[in-house]
Amino acid sequence: MKVRALTAKNAGLIACESCHKLIDKGHSKTNEPICPRCNASVSQRKKDSLNRTWALLVSALVLYIPANLFPIMTLISFGKESKETILSGIHQLFVSGQWVIAIVVLFASVFVPIFKIIALSFLVISIHVGMSWQPVLRTRLYRFVEWIGRWSMIDIFMISVLIALVKLKELATVEAGPGAMAFAAVVILTMFASKAFDPRLIWDRLEGEDNGQ
Amino acid sequence: MTGSGPLEAGNSSNMKVRLACPECDLLHENQKIKTGHSSYCRRCGAILFRGQKDSLDRTLAYACTGLVFFLLANISPILVFKMRGNLSANQLVDGALAFLSSGYWPLGILVLFASVIAPLMVLCFLVSILLPLKYHRLPIFPEWQIRTLLALRPWAMAEIFVIGIMVAFVKLRDFADVGIGGSLVGIICMVSAMVLAFLSLDHRELWKRLEELKK
C-alpha cells in the first residue's frame, strides 16, 4: 500500500519560508496570511512558481546571445584597441598558460550559466509532465543550481577591478563593454529564476496532487 | 541524521511535529540533537538546521571580526598597477565608481551592492541582532532585521569578488607589473569571517531566544 507522506501541505499547515515556523492554515482569515513570528507573508507553495521561472529563464536565454557576441571590455594601449569577449578572454588565459584561472573562468562564465538554464528548464518541464523519476536527485540538482549561480559574477568583478585599476591614459586604459551588461543580466535573471522555482513541487507531483495555488 | 518521517497521515494528532523541510515540505519531529551535529531531511537530504555549541555567541564573534576586517579592507589599495614608471592603485569601492562614471551605471550599482553594501549590511545586522540578545534585550525590529538579513545573504558576494580580483591580477601580470595591496588580505579575512558566521548560526536557537524574550 502506498502511504502518502505527511507534508505540511497535507496536514493543512503552512511553513514560513523565512523563519520556518509552521502555521495553521485555518487560523488566518485573510487571503494573504502573515507569519506570526517573523511577519513575512506566507503561502504553502511559491506563487506562480513555474510561470515566473519560465519567464526569467527565457529572458536569460535571450540575453545570453548579446552577452557572448559583444565585447565585455576593451583594452586601449598606445592607441591600439583590443576588444575582449567572454570566450576570447578565456582563450587568452589558456594561451598565456594560466590553466587554473582559465578553467575557473570557463566554468563560472560559460558552463554555469548554460548549466543553470538547462537544469532549471529540465526541472520545470519535469513538473509540467508529472515526472516521478528520482525526486531526491532532482532536489539535489536544484540545491546545486541555487548554490553555484552566484559564482558567475566573477567576470563582472574582474572587469570592475580592471577598469578601476588600469587607467594610465595613453599608456593603458580598460573600458567596460556592452557584453558585460548583458552578461550581468543573465546571471541575475538566472539567480531570480532559481529563487522563483519551488522544489516542493517536485514532491507534490510524486504524491499525485495538483499544484494549484 | 536525525528527524523522523516519512510519517503516515493520520498519526499527526499525537505527534509533536514542529518543522517542515524547506525543500520537500516533509514534516519532522523536533528532536534534540547533539551539539555540533546538523539535522537533515530524511526524504530529500536538505539541511534542516545546524546544531552548534554556543551558536549565537560564535556568530556574533565572527560578525564582529568581519566588521573589523571590513574596515581594514577599505584602508589600503587592493592591487597596485605599474607601467613605465606610472602607478595606479584601486580600492574596494573604486570598481563600482568606475562603472558608475563610465555610463554603465546599472553595473556600478550591482557591483557596489554586491561587493560593499550587502556584505557590510549583513555583518551589521548580525551584530545588531545578536549583541542585544546576548545581554537579554530585544533588538530593534528583530523580525524585519532577520528577514532582511536572510534576503540579503545571496547578494553579499564578497567571496566571489575575491576570485574576481585574482583573475584580474593574473590577466594583468602578463601585461605589466602588478602588486598586491594590504586590502586584499583584509577582504579575504572578512569573507572568511562572514562565511563562518553563517555556518555557526542556528536559526532555531535565534528564534527560541527571541520568543523567550518577548514573553
DSSP A72: S
- pLDDT given at position B16: 55
Cα distance between residue B205 and residue A191, in whole Å: 29
C-beta neighbour count of B157 within 10 angstroms: 24
Across A14-28, A55-69, B40-54, B118-132, least confident range:
A14-28
Give the one of B27, B84, B106 whose C-beta lies nearest to A181's C-beta. B106
Q: What is residue B2's predicted lDDT score, i.e. its pLDDT? A: 37
- Could you tell me what percentage of chain B is helix, strand and coil, using 3-state DSSP and rounding each to the nearest 5? 55, 15, 30
Angle subtended at Cα A98 by Cα A96 and Cα A104, rounded to the nearest 5 degrees: 135
Closest CB to A161: pick one of B95, B97, B150: B95
SS3 of B79, please? strand
**Choices 1.20.140, 1.10.3470, 1.10.287, 3.30.390: CATH for A48-206:** 1.20.140
Smallest CA–CA distance from B154 into chain A, residue? A150
For B109-113, what is the mean pLDDT?
96
- Taking a C-beta distance cutoff of 8 angstroms, is the pair A23, A13 a contact? yes
- Which residue intervals of A38-177 are DSSP H helices? 49-69, 86-95, 99-105, 112-128, 135-148, 154-165
pLDDT at A212: 41
B115 vs B214, more confident: B115
Give the contacts of B211 (CB within 8 A, at least 6 positions apart). Answer: A37
B55-214 belongs to CATH 1.10.3470: no
- Model confidence pLDDT, tens digit, residues A110-145: 999 999 999 999 999 999 998 888 999 999 999 999
Query: Does the beta-carbon distance from A139 to B45 stay under 8 Å?
Result: yes
Contact across the interface for B163 and A5, Cβ inside 8 Å: no
* pTM of the shown model: 0.89
Chain B residues in contact with A92 by the CB 8 A cut-off are 171
Nearest to B75 by CA among B193, B185, B196: B185
Mean pLDDT throughout B110-119? 96
DSSP letter, residue B124:
H
CA neighbor of B59 nearest in space, from B195, B152, B173 = B195
pLDDT tens, B184-204?
A: 999 999 999 999 999 999 888
- Does residue B32 have a pLDDT over 70? no
Answer whether B198's CB lies under 8 Å from B63's CB: no
Chain B residues with CB-CB distance to A20 below 8 A: 19-20, 22, 203
What are the sequence ranges of the domains in chain B? 12-50, 55-214
Residues of chain A with CATH 1.20.140: 48-206
Q: Tens digits of per-residue pLDDT, A84-97?
A: 999 999 999 999 99
- B6-31 pLDDT, tens digit each: 443 434 444 455 789 999 999 888 76
Q: Is the pLDDT of residue A209 over 60?
A: no
